[in-house]
Amino acid sequence: MNGFPRVAAALLLTLAACSPDPPAAAPAQPPLAGARIGGPFTLTDQNGRSVSDRDFAGKYRIVYFGYTFCPDVCPVDVQNIGAALRLLEKSDPALAARVVPIFITVDPARDTPAVLKQFVSAFHPRMVGLTGSPQAIDAVAKEYAIFHQVGDKQPGGGYLVNHSRQAYLMGPEGEPLALLPQEGPLQAIAAEIRKWVK
């Protein structure tokens, strides 16, 4: 009876040695895989040209909604996105070239193509600024689950626009992949882009 535990242990070790290697871990799914975010659109770019979602086919996209008259968060977020992309351009230019940063206004009344051109060119030379009719902006904002609402008029006629604040990384077929940490640090934004751009 004393030899039985030793025999059983030896048998278990032999069986363990014969078992195949554990299966390799499946590649991680992007956090937004399968989410109903994004969709077709036709808007106007900063050069006055009509642009649709199909014009970006085959490219990864960073999509951010904001407005040029925003007094605080929008310029900081867009600056961080542009700077993170420049960081990637230095370390991996081929990867960075496959990513298009897109800024879509939620304030089409003031953000004309000319205003957008001045704004986006300050943050990245390849950044695309998009505007359109209020109806077109409402439709694309809905596709991307973006809340936006014009606030009360201020003295002098100005106003703020309340809006959701997220930067989406979208895949080459327009599929949602991940939210970017647009507040930085720049390395974290670049790392998230690098993680999902293949």
Per the annotation, where are the binding residues for Cu cation?
70, 74, 163
By CB neighbour count within 10 A (0-12 exposed, 13-18 middle, 19+ buried), where does 92 fall? middle
For 132-171, strand residue ranges (E) read 148-153, 159-163, 167-170
Question: Residues forming the annotated binding site?
Answer: 70, 74, 163
CB 189 within 8 A of CB 80: yes
Q: How many CB atoms lie within 10 A of CB 18?
A: 7
Q: What is the DSSP letter of 27?
A: P
Q: What are phi and psi of 6, to 5 degrees?
A: -70, -40
Strand duo 176-180 + 167-170: pairing: antiparallel
Return the closest-CA partner of residue 35 out of 167, 168, 149, 147: 168
